[in-house]
Structure 1
């Protein structure tokens, strides 16, 4: 036995001696939508960043998974998501029939999306990218993250200060020992009125997408019959309008995304596990190939087939499936539907690092899955604590494994939302690495300011464009709660608006001002403003707070009202102040966003 152990040690010693060790500040594992955005933002924040991805492509499910029609967040296009969106649209702007209207879904060929992301990454300083790099182990050692990976088939060690799990399945968080949950949460557990009474392990279905091409009309482009082919799986297609279904998935250059019921499959936590998914994925690929074969041979679409130039996989299907959910981590905070429908039920809105508006989707083959009747959904904010593991220092988690409830995951898992979340997560990781801190020491306001400096939207408004000269002032004052977002039902949708020309109610701002400013109770007790807050009230409060002579301040503001601030309404001390005027002046003179808040949104004295 001793001789065998000695031989093993001697055999392994050369590998250990010559294994490469790479050191970085931030390590992002997973080139998904969120992973790419996190890595780009971390590097742009002047932090040495390494991004590794097991497949040959960047983009995760929206490229390597073929999910290349994105209809969420078009009105909330900001930051790296806006950059990606613009580059894709610029690439296709001369393509006949390509829709370039501002709110149109973003459509692209998967390999084009992957190439665009690669091109962006290649231009970012402080960012190193390694594709085709599987990960093996992850652990913390002496306050650092240590991962073993395979680079060009050889084992290597990566050491990092901060680790971002941006894998589609939360695999790195699991390897690191994070606590993970799956399935429906109970109403008792989350407090969500929409949640079922009892928890359930059921998770949403998986789709293995196919991207097919329409070849010349008289061409016959038949594929071999795949193994395990069973036409009974697809017989329901005989009663459907296939041309319409193909058209709904149209991509540029005569290609179509097939994401139908017939290639969407019920799944379980066991099948999605690292041990179970290899065999499971093989079966799903064969079933999707069978769908294309059925389309050609049973339905007569003989000139439509899989384009072998799209995916360089052995069967030319996407590398990975489109996964709607699997497992979720336990974060410093957990995002629930309350933060979407009633954002002011707590203070988490103050910690927002991203926005989203993807409609809630439900895809369950299991007939026992609870049916959720979601009300019209407003655009929402994502709290910082949802991407930070509760127990493990310097572990940032995105994609389906971020800390949300099962109900919320039905929206936040969407790729364009994840790209926005990833940018926020990258800002968190860069903050910890740059200041040599851990995720128990987060300065929420510094992280938010850094994110907005790079174009992130942290509060969604349909009526304040990002080009507005005081857009940041509106965002920051919203982040304090002094002015709140307004939800307005618009048909079957819920718009989130700022209502810049409406007036400010004293009852709305007084509690936050008392919470934010120590001397506010003296001013309110002395001045007793009316039901609507007037321009004169605001000037008086600013004078009191800044110790500026009231008459001097009034004269200065009157001179600057139109020429400098470009306000539309006249300067009138008796007139109720508008929300827009209030946001601009409060942000400049009172700077409430400078007040620190913790990860729960509570003001820190």
Structure 2
């Protein structure tokens, strides 16, 4: 009997020890809206995620910058908020306590997500594959850490005991193409793009921040979550990211990777315009602190030539014979046929889809002068330059 009792005690001791150790893909630390957004996105991207904080997640402050951007998870946040009230909520009702209730209701429904409150981090160490996080009562092994604390308190702890070989040099890119790697944008007047390097420029692999440059919102949280999930899902690190795959994942969850002041959030071609926006083929115009797409403006061949030559080296041959101050539909289709190796069937295809799947207004007329919006939709649908990968500097990969 004593032998059986000893065996039973050993079993429960082993079980208790097992229960205190957690293995997960992504750990998000913080009780900010960007922490919630990062954790939800990582979990929805199919990766086991743990959200921890030293508090109890009962007070969460929604910043004005979170409410300034009407896109991404903020829309879903408002739906959950509405469901907790008898009448539609307004920003004035988003008290820290109410915001915490909304996030609790939301996170309770997310698959792959575990929330761990009252977690005091004692130590963070680099392991062979990821990180080991020592809490007061348990140890966590994770492949990626996302620091979403208000004061960015996790990054110094993680870097403190790193050997020289484990540290990575901070990126100081001089490229003028960083906008092509945008995964979010700021809440300022000009919606400045947030290139992905700002999320991973922390000094160590698989250590990500949601506060690039000190500014945060739902979108940067989503971007950090998608980036972390990518590393786990593809068994890689933050030095080997596919910018386009991460951007596409964010767009599939209704986030926004680039923003123009003069485009509506309800535009049926919103995704196509974001695609072409980050390629730079139709470059944005900055006017009085505002970033503009100018959707109804005409297009010249000189305007689209520099970027297209980077994406398609053979395009320089086409541009030798084509110079128009105002690009016509006929010429645009000729360009697409040349670069995509299409024949005259493309004309019939576009004519059939003009008002249906393309949702373009006016009549199909080969002699009509195209607007920037119309050209963007045609390029995204039939040429798909967005599918061409770019590196972390925004340079086109060949």
TM (norm. structure 1) is 0.59
The 3-state SS of whatever aligns with 1:445 is helix
Aligned to 1:379: 191
- Which has the higher mean CA deviation after the structures are superposed, 587-596 or 464-473? 464-473
Is 1:351 aligned to residue 190 of structure 2?
no
**Corresponding position of 1:449:** 248
Q: Does structure 2 conserve the Cα–Cα contact (< 8 Å) formed by 1:85 and 1:106?
A: no
1:549 deviates by: 2.2
Structure 1 runs (4+) greater than 6 angstroms displaced:
none
- Find the aligned partners of 1:27 and 1:450 in 2 and give their Cα distance: 19
- Once the two structures are TM-superposed, the CA of residue 457 in structure 1 deviates from its matched residue by 0.8
Residue of structure 1 in register with 2:171 after alignment? 332
SS at match of 2:159: coil
Q: Does 1:21 align with 2:14?
A: no
SS of residue paired to 2:65: coil
1:56-135 equivalences under 5 Å are 56-57=56-57, 63-64=59-60, 67-68=61-62, 70-72=63-65, 74=67, 76-89=69-82, 91-92=84-85, 94=87, 100=90, 105=91, 107-135=93-121
User: In the aligned structure 1, how far is the partner of 2:374 from the partner of 2:92?
Assistant: 35
Instruction: Give the structure with the higher percent helix.
Output: 2
Please name the residue that 2:208 is paired with: 396
Deviation at 1:333, TM superposition (A): 5.1
The CA deviation at 1:37 is: 0.8
Which of 367, 386, 397 pairs up with 1:593? 386
For 1:475 and 1:385, locate their aligned partners in 2 and report how far apart those are by CA, in whole Å: 19
Equivalent residues of 1:384, 1:599 under 8 A apart? yes
Structure 1 Cα separation of the partners of residues 272 and 373 of structure 2 = 9
Is 1:505 paired with 2:344? no
Moved more, 46-55 or 560-569: 560-569
Would the alpha carbon gap of residues 468 and 392 (structure 1) be closer, same or farther in structure 2, given more than 3 Å must change?
same
Distance across 1 between alignment mates of 2:244 and 2:365: 34
SS at match of 1:128: strand
Secondary structure of 1:354 counterpart: strand
Question: Do the aligned partners of residues 595 and 133 (structure 1) sit closer, same or farther apart at CA in structure 2, a change above 3 Å counting?
Answer: same
**Which residue does the alignment assign to 1:36?**
36
Q: Deviations over 1:198-251 (max 9, x none)?
A: xxxxxxxxxxxxxxxxxxxxxxxxxxxxxxxxxxxxxxxxxxxxxxxxxxxxxx
Aligned partners of 1:84, 1:106: CA distance in 2, in Å?
Answer: 15
Aligned to 1:143: 129
Partner SS, residue 138 of structure 2:
strand
> Structure 1's 479 and 106: CA in aligned 2 closer, same or farther, altered over 3 A?
farther
When the two chains are superposed, the root-mean-square deviation of aligned CA atoms in Å is 2.5
**1:109: how far off?**
2.2
Quick one: structure 1 residues 106 and 468, their matched pair in 2 at CA, closer, same or farther if it must change by over 3 Å?
farther
Structure 1 gap ranges (5+): 1-13, 180-328, 336-344, 359-376
Tell me the distance in 1 between the aligned counterparts of 2:172 and 2:42.
22
Once the 2 structures are TM-superposed, how far is the Cα of residue 75 of structure 1 from its aligned partner?
5.5
Who is 1:422 aligned against? Answer: 221
Q: 1:549 aligns with which of 326, 343, 349?
A: 343
Output one character per residue of 1:362-391: Cα deviation in whole Å (capped at 9) or x when no partner: xxxxxxxxxxxxxxx412111111010354
User: What are the Cα deviations for residues 5-37 of structure 1, in whole angstroms up to 9, with x where unaligned?
Assistant: xxxxxxxxx99x947211001111112221111
Distance 2:217 2:67 in 1: 13
8 A contact 1:76–1:457 mirrored in 2: no
Q: How does 1:232-251 map to 2 (within 5 A)?
A: none
How many Å separate the matches in 2 of 1:563 and 1:128?
43
User: Structure 2 CA distance, aligned partners of 1:353 and 1:28?
Assistant: 18
Match of 1:560 in 2: 353
Deviation at 1:567, TM superposition (A): 1.6
Helix, strand or coil: the match of 1:176? helix
Aligned partner (choices 498, 520, 523) of residue 318 of structure 2: 523
Name the CA shift for 1:118/1:570 in 2 (closer, same or farther; >3 Å): same
Q: What 5-or-longer segments of structure 2 have no aligned partner?
A: 1-12, 162-167
**CA distance 1:472–1:130, shift in 2 (3 Å):** same
Determine which of 229, 252, 259 is the counterpart of 1:460: 259
